[in-house]
Amino acid sequence: MTDLVQVVDSSQQIECAARRLQEVARRRPIHPVEVLEVFEQWAAALDTSELREIPGVVFLRLWLRRGTLEPILIRELGSDSLTGAWREEGHAKLRPFPLGVVGHWPAGNIDIQPVLSLTCALLGGNACLVRVPSDLLAATRLIMEKLHQVDRSCLLTERIFMASFDHSRTDLHQAMARAMDGAMIWGGAPAVSEVRALPFPHWARITVFGPRLSVAAMDAGVWGERTERSSWCRRIARDVWQFDQQACSSPQALFLESSNGDDPAEFVEELKLAFQEENRVSPRREIHPVATSSICLARALWLLEDANNDATFPPSPDWTILLGSSVEIPKPVQGRTLYVLLVDDLLEVISKFDGTVQTLGLGIKAAKREEILAQAAGYHGVDRVVKLGRMHVFTSPWDGMDLIRPMVRLVRHVDSQD
């Protein structure tokens, strides 16, 4: 079985791989319905005890299912696109066609991101050349082995090449960019800027998912309701635990709109129980020493900065709840560290958003109040407003953009006999 993930050391290897992918894409067009069939089998093959240990694989299985992806394809490209048919639009016909070879530069902190990124381009009929960060090699290989097993006709595997090389190899980044018809770029500001500066062809379509962060918010009518409190706390814990709080959609802070009669300490006690249970079900297998230092420092600084601040955490760095008052988003610590901040008015919090907030997870009692908050969030740069517990539901649009549409060309045909 050919390894889809290869360590490369020369520009020639990348150029040869890109030429081969271009030839495959031109020789053997594929339609979304064919891709969906293989993805469905791939999702089933990922359901193993070994793969469940990889953060995000449970989510990836749900993402690959037809029930998730078909509605996205229909919304972005139209139902006719599933089988490669033209759709009527007045006197013309429209149909999406692939860009060709799409390059992928995933961030290095999300285990499933190399795979997640390439699925968007494959659904558009493209071939994919993916740079895999060295820290994600082992997880990516395990996931791609399952695709090899189910894709017996090599419908998808023959149009994928995954290259691993050191981040400092500018020559290899440049070789990859020069050969691309499109690109999907993920990561922090420095990494995104470096990739965008590469010598892409002038026709290349480039989609960027840059650095963002996310927060949660609850009004007193929700967090003060004792009968429902534990359920909401379990939802929050789920959002914090997925992707070890490293995803752009991970809540870094929870804003609680204050109430005269409810004690936030009681809420934090309930949240602590939810964190303990989530930690029991999904314990951290290992933690980098730098992350441990950051968590311990955040705990100490929080308690020293203000005598009114409080903190709840176990002796280990498994999780941390930092309780205080502020309308500002603190600098994220990650590592399952959640700031719980009391505020007088959630609208004041949202008014300070500057475009860096991607997802706002909400728990709001009144529908009209939620509508006001959602409108305000939209005007202040938030791209997703969702119920707590669903902050990582990856669907389109993402970061305010379609996922598959940027990876195709929408061709317009007006019949010459018309």
Domain-wise residue ranges, the chain: 5-210+399-414, 213-387
Domain 213-387: CATH superfamily is Aldehyde Dehydrogenase; Chain A, domain 2 (3.40.309.10)
pTM score, whole prediction: 0.85
Q: Is the pLDDT of residue 260 over 80?
A: no
Q: Do domains 5-210+399-414 and 213-387 have the same CATH topology?
A: no
Cα–Cα distance for residue pair 165/181, rounded to 1 Å: 21
Which own/partner contact pairs does 72-80 have at CB distance under 8 Å and 24+ positions apart? 72/395, 72/396, 72/403, 72/404, 73/32, 73/36, 73/123, 73/404, 75/396, 76/396, 76/402, 76/403, 76/404, 76/405, 77/32, 77/404, 77/405, 77/408
- Classify residue 260 as exposed, middle or buried by CB count within 10 Å of its CB (0-12, 13-18, 19+): exposed
Q: Is the pLDDT of residue 1 over 50?
A: no
The string over 59-94, giving b where at least 16 C-beta atoms fall within 10 Å of a residue's C-beta and e elsewhere, is bbbebbeeebbbebbeebbbebbbebebeeeeeebb
Cα–Cα distance for residue pair 65/83, rounded to 1 Å: 17
Identify the architecture of domain 5-210+399-414 in CATH.
3-Layer(aba) Sandwich (3.40)
Asked whether the beta carbons of 291 and 317 are under 8 A apart, the reply is yes
Instruction: Count how many residues are written for the chain.
Output: 418
* pLDDT band for position 3 (cuts 50, 70, 90): confident
Coil, strand or helix at 64: coil
Q: What is the DSSP letter of 331?
A: P
Cα–Cα distance for residue pair 46/142, rounded to 1 Å: 9
Q: What is the DSSP letter of 167?
A: T
Q: pLDDT digits over 51-106, tens only?
A: 988 888 988 999 999 999 999 999 999 999 999 999 998 889 999 999 999 999 99
* pLDDT band for position 2 (cuts 50, 70, 90): low
